[in-house]
């Protein structure tokens, strides 16, 4: 039996609004309750740690992927179902997306944006057709949505780029969208 896996990109910090951590915990919990596996960056800090601990608390399967140079910096969470240490950041991103059926992006910084845009670019190029969902916790990603619209309006991408992203304002909406998008 193949387990559905959800790759979650998110910050190694918790951010300034409590809703970010609340949504990370709710999403991790719901992924586990659905019987899905959490695939994430293997950190034990920030939103990464919040998501993973919630999934574990709900009895979920967790698959963490972290590059060697971040093991100490981000405090790798080694009590996961599966813990993989890669050589590079690029290898980490590849392992994460190749082991997932869908991607969810929570609030985060440059790393989360890098992961999102790589997944989006790969989908645009036809390298995968996995759903990509942006969880707009507390309106965090609203400026990103406007930026993507701007890129399209200025002729640097087709409207199909925006159609490759699904937006949700709450973990409940995110789970509904994932259930609809996945077999």
Structural domains of the chain, ranges and CATH numbers in brackets: 5-181 (3.40.50.450)
Q: Please check whether residue 9 is in contact with residue 108, taking contact to mean a CB–CB distance below 8 angstroms.
A: yes
Degrees to nearest 5, angle at CA 178 with 177 and 183: 120
pTM: 0.96
Nearest to 6 by CA among 44, 42, 35: 35
pLDDT above 70 for 139: yes
Give the mean pLDDT of 11-30.
98
pLDDT above 80 for 131: yes
Helix %, strand %, coil % of the chain (to 5)? 45, 20, 35
d(CA 36, CA 16): 29
For the segment 106-124, what is each residue's pLDDT rounded down to a tens digit? Answer: 999 999 999 999 999 999 9
According to the model, what pLDDT value does residue 1 have?
Answer: 63
For the segment 36-82, what is each residue's pLDDT rounded down to a tens digit? Answer: 999 999 999 999 999 999 999 999 999 999 999 988 776 789 999 99
Alpha helices in 67-159 (DSSP H): 89-98, 110-124, 142-153
């Amino acid at each position: 039996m193949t387990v559905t896996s959800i790759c979650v990109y998110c910050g190694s910090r918790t951010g300034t609004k409590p809703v970010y951590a609340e949504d990370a915990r709710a999403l991790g919990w719901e992924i586990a309750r659905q019987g899905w596996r959490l695939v994430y960056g293997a950190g034990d800090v920030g939103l990464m740690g919040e998501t993973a601990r919630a999934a574990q608390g709900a009895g979920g399967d967790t698959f963490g992927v972290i590059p060697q140079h971040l093991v100490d910096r981000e405090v790798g969470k080694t009590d996961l179902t599966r813990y993989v240490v890669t050589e590079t950041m690029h290898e980490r991103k590849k392992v994460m997306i190749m082991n997932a059926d869908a991607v969810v992006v929570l609030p985060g910084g440059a790393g989360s944006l890098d992961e999102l845009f790589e997944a989006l670019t790969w989908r645009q190029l036809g390298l995968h057709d996995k759903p990509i969902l942006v969880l707009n916790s507390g309106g965090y990603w609203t400026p990103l949505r406007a930026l993507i619209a701007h890129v399209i309006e200025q002729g640097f991408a087709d409207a199909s780029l925006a159609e490759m992203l699904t937006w949700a304002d709450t973990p409940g909406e995110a789970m509904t969208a994932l259930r609809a998008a996945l077999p």
